Structure 1
Amino acid sequence: MAQKPSIPKGTRDFSPIEMVKRNYIFDTIKDVFRLYGFQPIETPAMENLSTLMGKYGEEGDKLLFKILNSGDFVSKVSDEVYAEKDSVKLTPEISEKGLRYDLTVPFARFVVQYRNDITFPFKRYQIQPVWRADRPQKGRYREFYQCDVDVIGSNSLLNEMELVQIIDDVFERLKINTVVKINNRKILAGIAEIIGENERIIDITVAIDKLEKIGLEKVNRELSEKGVSDEAIQKLQPILALEGSSAEKITQLENVLAASEIGIKGVEEIKTLFGYLEQLDLQTEVELDLTLARGLNYYTGAIFEVKAKDVAIGSICGGGRYDDLTGIFGLPDVSGVGVSFGAERIFDVLTQLDLFPHESLETTKVMFVNFGEKEEAYCLPVLAQLRKSSINAEIFPENAKMKKQMNYANKKDIPYVVLAGESEMNEGKFTLKNMESGGQKSVTAEELIKILS
């Protein structure tokens, strides 16, 4: 019995139509990255496990896809290790490599490995798939693409400003209405310090990050369950209740965090960044959101999150400033900042809002109907001219029935069909048919190229 074809759970095949749409997203993002001086790099699908392990926490390590060593790897494992049935001890014996979990750690490895060859500040973008041994569910896959853009080796807040500009440019081109939420890790550290709970900054920020979803009462309850004192929770309330424009919130924070050196440093950074942004003609909405607390294990300054305003979906882009990402590979104190665009969610937003362009540069624009050998010889030189003029064109490969050829054109959404039979050849012309309207007219080769250009 023949094997039923299938793919692993959490992975996907993409049809030509889907690939055209995905490439529209990737090409749009890449075009904007290049405008700002960012250059592409690629890293291998697999990295040494020593590069990946321990960088994502205990849970992250469990989600790494490990690759079995080549050859008879089992024979090299001692009986003692087998007898223990401990996967943590067994893994290094049978696997030295793993599929990359994200693009950030490979990027840090790349920077350190080639630090003598690259120019700092180093502006790179990277669009490649990553793999996670997660439980597949709606919107969560085991293989998916990340679109990262980072600048490393510079502390300047101009970099943060440019990232907001990049976000604005990308989503303006994609016609998605967005809001960019910005916070600063130092402000969150200052808040924890002011309320007397320095040691619980992670617990506090994880809880307030849920404010929009679960409400203030449940946030306070979670803080209490995490061991935050009632006094500290009370001190936190006026901070969570700050209202007004971003500028007004910044002014209020200057007073609230006056006694915290790190908090005031964060406020100064936010004030500078918003000062830059006010000079720009941004289409996207930008706001200071004190409940934004993503990536606190590695972000040290600005934090970004982008949401689509017209679709109920999670963040479609996010990132922040990190001060010591390369330190794990022996190159300390190299600051960087970057954001990652979520291609899968952007695809869903464009689909829901019907924003994909109906015409694409990747699809065939015109097809020549094949009436036979003489007609082929008449059409082929013009077909070549169309392609030289950067017009996507094809000829049906067989002298099949007209119905079959027209069905082919319809199924591929080819907007124009060229017919050249005996009468057209006698006149030195072609009949151009518009597949949408059904209208057709007689044209010369030169007119055909002009119409389709």
Structure 2
Amino acid sequence: MANIKPSLAKGTRDFSPQEMERRNYIFDTLRTVFKKFGYNEIQTPSFENLSTLTGKYGEEGDKLIFKILNSGDFLSKTPDDLVGSKMSNKLISYISEKALRYDLTVPFARFVVMHQHELTLPFKRFQIQPVWRADRPQRGRYREFYQCDVDVVGSSSLLNEAEFILIYEEALGRLGLSDFTIKVNNRKILSGIAEVIGKPELIVDMTVAIDKLDKIGFEGVNRELLERGFTAEDLLVLEPIILLKGSNIEKIEALKGILAHSIIGLEGVKELEDVFTYIVNFKREDLLNAIVEIDITLARGLNYYTGCIFEVKTNEVSMGSIGGGGRYDDLTGMFGLKDLTGVGVSFGADRIYDVLDELKLFPSSSATGTKVLITNFDKAFETYTLPILLQLRNSGIAAELYPTTAKLKKQMSYADDKRIPYVLLVGEEEISASEISLKNMVTGEQQKLKIDQLMVLLKNEEVI
């Protein structure tokens, strides 16, 4: 059998112990903030029925869903005339019944419908799990990546939207990010714009196009709008709206004039005003002047959004959005549960990781697992140190014993490579005096201590 060179599937990555420590630092920080705001954790399966996922993300999103072939002879039930037709879209319903989840929101909606009689409404949940998209891999964009979602269903209050702004501000601040923008818009405003230009039936086409402004530029958006059924006259009306400038207050006043004859458009403007009022009443008006920005081009191409929408971008690193979300008033209706409104946002953990790494914002402690290494010189010393090892672990101190007898240089190199900050040296002299020698691997300082003194020192001292 020929040797096969190992490789990773495109858009996926391995994670080293150090990288996992850093990823868990992000996850743990987010969990702490989510719980502080009253959210509880759930998990859903990695794959769902294909019918659960399709039709929820729009035409563009459906193309990116990873389908799973049926087990066994997946072609056995396929009509003969389709097998050789090369029409994959028509084959899918015969050969695939399952798919990897595209996001966490649709599975959450399915969860709510299936468990509706067990839940107390409003139901506030967070979820930190991987998702998969058949996208073109590039920096900051992977085919397998983690989402960290926080949602509430069963509440129409715009207090929830205001609190998501506070959640973003606190969580990203705890992670060390100081220069980021929370962009906000409202899908009702976009519906109003489509209504004003006389093309309400093309709202989805309009939102898909203008959502690409950052990627393809204004001229690219215009070309796509023309391809999707808009006229040159429509573009003249759209241009000043898409390029709307000014402060948040100035944009709101301008939108009131632009959307004066659109009831749904004015509803969207009023909802943004109400969210901002909550922020002011939280005594956090500073956020509206510093990190919150109304962006009319923000569309969040997913079809299920119906109200306020969010997108977060860091201004310190060239990177796509690191978070986003919005309100979805009828998502559970797709599964038979009507009139249950929901709203949620997501943190892109993988992109946040890349940003923190580039800015060198990970704390040194996040790269350390073991705090103490006990050296091993022979079986007698090994037997003596095993109770010490157990005592360290029982005290909550991460510790390990070098598993075999080896030269001291090799054991010290092991500690250096793993960034273990302390090494315990136990020899005949230490045993006879009922002491141990503790070496600080950062400063090189070495001291002799009684076991009780060692425990107090390690428990009270921060990991270097």
Query: What is the TM-score when the length of structure 2 is the normalising length?
Result: 0.90
Q: Distance in 2 between matches of 1:54 and 1:29?
A: 30
Letter in 2 for 1:365: K
Counterparts of 1:296 and 1:56, CA distance in 2: 5
Secondary structure of the 1:360 match is: helix
Q: Provide the rounded CA distance (Å) in 1 between the counterparts of 2:139 and 2:129.
A: 21
The alpha-carbon distance between structure 1 residues 154 and 92, as it changes in their structure 2 partners (threshold 3 A), is same
Contact 1:120 1:153 in 2 (8 A): yes
Contact (CA 8 Å) 1:318, 1:340: kept in 2 or not? yes
1:412 match: 418
Alpha-carbon distance in 1 for matches of 2:129, 2:67: 18
1:349–1:395 distance in 2 versus 1, CA, 3 Å: same
Note the 1:246-395 alignment, pairs <5 A.
246-278=248-280, 279-281=282-284, 285-295=291-301, 297-360=303-366, 363-395=369-401
CA deviation after TM superposition for structure 1 residue 305, in Å: 0.6
Query: Retained in 1: the 8 A contact 2:147–2:349?
Result: yes
The 1:173–1:77 alpha-carbon spacing in structure 2 relative to 1, beyond 3 Å, is: same
Q: Aligned equivalents of 1:98 and 1:219: distance in 2?
A: 31
Distance between the aligned counterparts of 1:97 and 1:216, measured in 2?
Answer: 38
Task: Check 1:79–1:266 CA distance in 2 against 1; reply closer, same or farther (3 A cut).
Answer: closer
CA RMSD of aligned residues (A): 2.4
Q: Determine the C-alpha separation between the residues in 2 that align with 1:228 and 1:74.
A: 42
CA contact (8 A) 2:191 2:264 kept: yes
> Where do residues 109-124 of structure 1 align in structure 2 (5 Å cutoff)?
109-124=110-125
Decide which moves more: 176-185 or 211-220.
211-220
Which range is displaced more, 348-357 or 213-222?
213-222
**Counterpart Cα distance in 2 of 1:75 and 1:297:** 35
Is 2:18 aligned against 1:17? yes
Gapped regions of structure 2 (runs ≥ 5): 460-464
Q: In the alignment, is the contact (CA less than 8 A) between 1:386 and 1:392 conserved in 2?
A: yes
Question: Residues of 1 paired with 2:75 and 2:297: CA distance?
Answer: 50
The residue type paired with residue 314 of structure 1 is: G
> Shift of residue 316 of structure 1?
0.2
Mean Cα deviation higher: 393-402 or 252-261: 252-261
**For residues 386 and 76 of structure 1, do their structure 2 counterparts lie closer, same or farther at Cα, with a shift above 3 Å needed?**
same
AA aligned opposite 2:254: Q
| Equivalent residue letter for 2:96 | S
Q: Aligned pair count?
A: 453
8 Å CA contact retained: 1:182, 1:287: yes
- Once the 2 structures are TM-superposed, how far is the Cα of residue 371 of structure 1 from its aligned partner? 2.0
Q: Secondary structure at the match of 2:429?
A: helix
Shift in CA distance, 146/252, structure 1 to aligned 2, threshold 3 Å: same
What is aligned with 2:162?
161
Match in the other structure for 1:2: 3
Number of the residue aligned with 1:100: 101
Shift of residue 143, structure 1, vs aligned partner? 1.7
In structure 1, distance between residues paired with 2:194 and 2:105: 28
Q: 1:374-453, aligned counterparts within 5 Å? A: 374-453=380-459
Q: Which segment drifts farther, 155-164 or 195-204? A: 195-204
SS of corresponding position for 1:298: coil
| TM-score, structure 1 normalization | 0.92
Cα distance change, pair 48–195 in 1 and its aligned pair in 2 (3 A) = closer
Residues 303 and 319 in structure 1, CA contact (< 8 A), matched pair in contact too: yes
- Assess if the C-alpha contact under 8 Å between 2:323 and 2:348 holds in 1: yes
CA shift, 1:72, in A, is 4.1
Q: Per-residue displacement from partner, 1:141-167 (whole Å, max 9, x unpaired)?
A: 222211111111111101111111111
**204-213 or 31-40, larger mean C-alpha shift:** 204-213
The answer (yes or no) to whether the contact 1:146–1:343 under 8 Å persists in 2 is yes
**Deviation at residue 441 of structure 1 after TM alignment:** 1.2
TM-superposed deviation, 1:4: 2.9
Distance in 2, matches of 1:44 and 1:404, equals: 44
> Which residue identity lines up with residue 336 of structure 2 in the other structure?
G
Decide whether aligned partners of structure 1 residues 216 and 99 sit closer, same or farther in structure 2, where only a CA change above 3 A counts: closer
2:462 corresponding residue in structure 1 = none
| Structure 2 counterparts to residues 122-271 of structure 1, below 5 A | 122-177=123-178, 178-211=180-213, 223=225, 226-240=228-242, 242-271=244-273
Q: Deviations over 1:80-121 (max 9, x none)?
A: 443545433433333322222221221121111111121221
- The aligned runs of 1:23-62 (5 Å cut-off) are 23-62=24-63
- Measured after TM superposition, the shift of residue 326 of structure 1 is 1.1
Residues 307 and 314 in structure 1, CA contact (< 8 A), matched pair in contact too: yes
User: Which stretch of structure 1 is more off in the superposition, 334-343 or 92-101?
Assistant: 92-101
Contact 1:371 1:399 in 2 (8 A): yes
Q: Secondary structure at the match of 1:359?
A: helix
| Partner Cα distance (1:389, 1:301) in 2 | 51
Distance 1:234 1:12, change over 3 A: closer
**What is the distance in 1 between the residues matched to 2:244 and 2:10?**
45
State the distance in 2 between where 1:297 and 1:288 align: 20
Distance 1:446 1:361 in 2: 27
| Contact persistence 2:56–2:304 (CA under 8 A) | no
Cα deviation, residue 219, structure 1: 5.1
**Structure 2 CA distance for aligned equivalents of residues 10 and 238 of structure 1:** 38
Structure 1's 191 and 312: CA in aligned 2 closer, same or farther, altered over 3 A? same
Does the CA-based 8 Å contact 1:202-1:296 persist in structure 2?
no
Does the Cα contact within 8 Å between 1:324 and 1:333 map onto a contact in 2?
yes
* 1:62-81 deviation per Cα after TM superposition (whole angstroms, max 9, x unaligned): 43333333344444444344
Measured in 1, the distance between the counterparts of 2:47 and 2:221 equals 40
Q: Is the 8 A contact 1:55 1:105 kept in 2?
A: yes
**Aligned in 2, Cα 1:23/1:194: closer, same or farther, shift over 3 Å?**
same
Paired letter, 1:164: I
Q: Which amino acid aligns with 1:166?
A: I
What is the DSSP-based 3-state SS (H/G/I as helix, E as strand, rest coil) of the residue aligned with 2:121? Answer: coil
Aligned-residue offset at 1:61:
3.7
1:307 is paired with a residue whose SS is strand
